[in-house]
Chain A
Amino acid sequence: MNESSDLLIEVKNLKTYFYLPQGIVRSVDDASFNIYRGKTLGVVGESGCGKSVTAQSILRIVPSPGKIIGGEILYHKLVNQDGTNYQEEVTDLAKMDWQDKRIRAIRGAEIAMIFQEPMTSLSVIHTIGNQIEEGIALHQNLKPREARKRAIEMLARVGIAQPEKNVDEYPFRLSGGMRQRAMIAMALACHPQLLIADEPTTALDVTTEAQILDLMRKLQQDLGMSIMFITHDLGVVAEMADDVVVMYLGRVVESAAVVDLFHDPKHPYTQALLHSIPKLSDKSGGRLEPITGSVPDPYTQVPGCPFHPRCLKMIPDLCDVKVPGLIPVSPVHWVSCHLYSEGKSS
């Protein structure tokens, strides 16, 4: 078990709801998980499972009318880090106002984010140099010339050729892979403690994806930051993550170390998900085992366990009534399923 000083972010019973005219969307509903220093947490789930909103909640950039209505996001910050002596300062990000000075000092500096589609998340009318320098100037009080030097350094670090020249390029002049590299340079310019990567390689081709994943691993080794890696691609999670959280309809259904999750999945949803994907190791021409049904409409609140309508191991009068809590099957493997409540084990 990790010691508490290894903890960077502790999310406890987070609830982020969207109040829309059509009804309430419970995007994140009672989610709890931990992110450890220097480690990568993979967050997997299908579209609409709340994985992106969870990330937005941590950074406090949930778009209106979304609101954090409950729970805690505890950020463990190390102060006076002079080698051996340091103190831990814990702040609850969920309780702050989104415009609070403290969260603005954290956002982009200590917790940074990269997005799926670099073209829509970079400004089209500023050069990438400008965009990287903006963050550095804001958080680190550097002179423009030094900020620019830093920007060029970062571009070189993420593997952009001729950084002195490309620093003055506009995003549309770069290829998809290069744009994603520029985004990573921007996010890492202030050496954050946590990098949130929201589907960073989904829009890229496989060979480019391999390059970006390699780069992220290398930068993590060099800079020692934690990564929260959000994706729907189980292959990418298997390669990148140390620990994995599986989400379904806003809830964490399973949380485990990566090897346990892939080789000993406990939750019926995780098991079904792993069975349903075509794998290169399978013989071609076989049959897949799909999960029946589809993710329900976001406005309907499923009573009981959110997965029960699609679950093959559903226990009537239990799963459709009572929401299961997170149950430990081992100290580092938690599952939210009635099959593992006391007395029952499989």
Chain B
Amino acid sequence: MTEYLVEIRNLKKYFPIVRGTFRTVKGIVKAVDGVSFNISKGETLGLVGESGCGKTTTGNCILRIVEPDDGEVLFHEDDHVVDIRSLDRSQLRTSWRNMQMIFQDPYSSLNPRMTLKQIVGEPLVEHKISKGKELDEQVAHLLEIVGLRPEYMSRYPHAFSGGQRQRIGIARSLAVNPKFIVCDEPVSALDVSVQAQILNLLQDLQGQFGLTYLFVAHNLSVVKHISNRVAVMYVGKLVELAETEEIFANPRHPYTEALISAVPKPDPLAVKNRIVLTGEVANPSNPPSGCYFNPRCKYAQKVCTEEMPVLREVSPGHLAACHFTDQLSLAGLDTYLHG
């Protein structure tokens, strides 16, 4: 039985829409609306969805960079379980030694006025792990781990390319020796040739330090490459979750089917009978009734507009939230690949 490292129960984050002179609340954006999943030790869980589906907010809520409104985030430390939401500020800071984040944009996530030593060493100083000569040694070591030369320590971020900056960000998040890292679109701002370097580095580090990743991304090819399991979000809700190969071979939610079909495949001979969804992602402040996907779903029936389907296990380890998942035979990835 695999051990869980992180358990998320019914996580919710609602953002009020505040307008006008009197700051009245005009509506609520349900960015994350009752999301539950577990992440096992040493695995990579991919979290995919389109912009505005709440995947980044989910990552932020787990680390409490954004305060969740409801739900539980259970983190298994060595011998006990901590509910991250119940911690006070100083306890939370201690917990951050175990959970870190890698950000999307390596240009805006590094302070241009700090040297590499200050950037990478800051968590070490902040958590009183090391100082003085020892700090220098540790920073040098961290830079080496991520493939940068320790001599660069006194340089500023502007001297580095996008890929190198992302390495700096990774070194910083590794500084406190965390167990769990939320990677928020870590390669989407990088050039294709550099993406592969960073993805390989993330895999190496996972093997080397036994890290567990929540990998938030919109690029399905990247997510498929790096994840053990994949969770799909649509308008604040989880619609499907399964092992990577399984979800791509046998999607059980029409949205997942459409996503797989929509990815441009780098092969001109690939079969091009793709499903083009009509309409746009539902407005999270005013979602449609019933299943949020129903206005775009070609299989939708009356019950879909009335009742919200619950996420349930449709086969061992495969969860989907669709009323008709058992009746539909949805097209998997094999449909689009040529012999």
Interchain CA distance A258-B267 in the complex, whole Å? 9
Contact in complex: B199, A288 (CB < 8 Å): yes
Interface residues as binary, B307-339 with A (CB distance below 8 Å gives 1, 0 otherwise):
000000000000000000000000001001100
B65 interface residue, CB < 8 Å from A?
no
Binding site for B on A (CB under 8 A): 46-47, 175, 177-178, 205-211, 213-214, 232-239, 241, 258-259, 262-263, 272-274, 276-291, 294-295
B90 interface residue, CB < 8 Å from A?
no
The 6 residue pairs across chains A and B that have the minimum distance between CB atoms: A235-B264, A290-B196, A278-B225, A205-B50, A288-B196, A291-B193
Comparing B95-103, B113-121, B137-145, B269-277, the segment that makes contact with chain A is B269-277
Given contacts A206-B263, A211-B276, A238-B270, contact A277 B196 (CB under 8 A): yes
B203 interface residue, CB < 8 Å from A?
yes
Given contacts A273-B193, A294-B163, contact A278 B262 (CB under 8 A): no
B130 interface residue, CB < 8 Å from A?
no
Interchain CA distance A280-B224 in the complex, whole Å? 7
- The number of chain B residues with a CB under 8 A from chain A is 50
B36 interface residue, CB < 8 Å from A?
no
Contact in complex: B195, A209 (CB < 8 Å): no
Contact in complex: B225, A284 (CB < 8 Å): yes
Picked from B245, B260, B272, B281, the residue with its CB within 8 Å of the CB of A284 is: B245
Contact in complex: A206, B220 (CB < 8 Å): yes
A-B contacts at CB below 8 angstroms, number: 149
Return 23 A-B CB contacts under 8 Å, by A number: A46-B192, A206-B218, A207-B276, A207-B281, A210-B276, A232-B192, A233-B264, A238-B264, A239-B268, A258-B268, A259-B268, A262-B268, A273-B193, A278-B225, A279-B266, A280-B337, A281-B265, A284-B226, A285-B225, A285-B244, A287-B200, A287-B203, A290-B200
Tell me how far the C-beta of A288 lies from the nearest C-beta in chain B, rounded to whole angstroms: 4
Picked from B161, B192, B227, B263, the residue with its CB within 8 Å of the CB of A280 is: B263
B51 interface residue, CB < 8 Å from A?
yes
Chain B residues near A262 (CB, 8 Å)? 266-269
Tell me how far the C-beta of B3 lies from the nearest C-beta in chain A, rounded to whole angstroms: 20
B82 interface residue, CB < 8 Å from A?
no
B6 interface residue, CB < 8 Å from A?
no
Tell me how far the C-beta of B254 lies from the nearest C-beta in chain A, rounded to whole angstroms: 12
Given contacts A205-B50, A207-B50, A238-B270, contact A276 B192 (CB under 8 A): yes
B258 interface residue, CB < 8 Å from A?
yes
Contact in complex: B221, A280 (CB < 8 Å): yes
Contact in complex: B266, A277 (CB < 8 Å): yes
Determine the residue in chain B with the shortest Cβ distance to A48. Answer: B191
Of A232, A283, A284, A294, the most chain B CB neighbours within 10 A belong to: A284
B301 interface residue, CB < 8 Å from A?
no
Contact in complex: B228, A285 (CB < 8 Å): yes
Given contacts A207-B50, A211-B277, A284-B226, contact A290 B268 (CB under 8 A): no
Chain B residues near A47 (CB, 8 Å)? 191
Tell me how far the C-beta of B48 lies from the nearest C-beta in chain A, rounded to whole angstroms: 9
Contact in complex: B266, A234 (CB < 8 Å): yes
Chain B residues near A273 (CB, 8 Å)? 192-193
Given contacts A210-B277, A235-B266, A238-B267, contact A284 B224 (CB under 8 A): yes
Interchain CA distance A290-B195 in the complex, whole Å? 8
Contact in complex: B277, A283 (CB < 8 Å): no
Tell me how far the C-beta of B299 lies from the nearest C-beta in chain A, rounded to whole angstroms: 16
Chain B residues near A294 (CB, 8 Å)? 161, 163-164, 191, 193-194
Tell me how far the C-beta of B157 lies from the nearest C-beta in chain A, rounded to whole angstroms: 15
Interface residues as binary, B174-211 with A (CB distance below 8 Å gives 1, 0 otherwise):
00000000000000000111111101100100000000
Interchain CA distance A205-B50 in the complex, whole Å? 6
Chain B residues near A214 (CB, 8 Å)? 276
Given contacts A208-B280, A281-B337, contact A289 B196 (CB under 8 A): yes
Chain B residues near A274 (CB, 8 Å)? 266
Tell me how far the C-beta of A123 lies from the nearest C-beta in chain B, rounded to whole angstroms: 23
Extra A-B contacts (16), CB below 8 Å, given A211-B277, A235-B265 = A175-B280, A206-B50, A206-B220, A209-B262, A214-B276, A232-B191, A232-B192, A235-B221, A262-B268, A263-B268, A277-B192, A278-B226, A280-B248, A280-B263, A286-B225, A287-B203
Contact in complex: A276, B268 (CB < 8 Å): no
Picked from A234, A238, A286, the residue with its CB within 8 Å of the CB of B192 is: A234
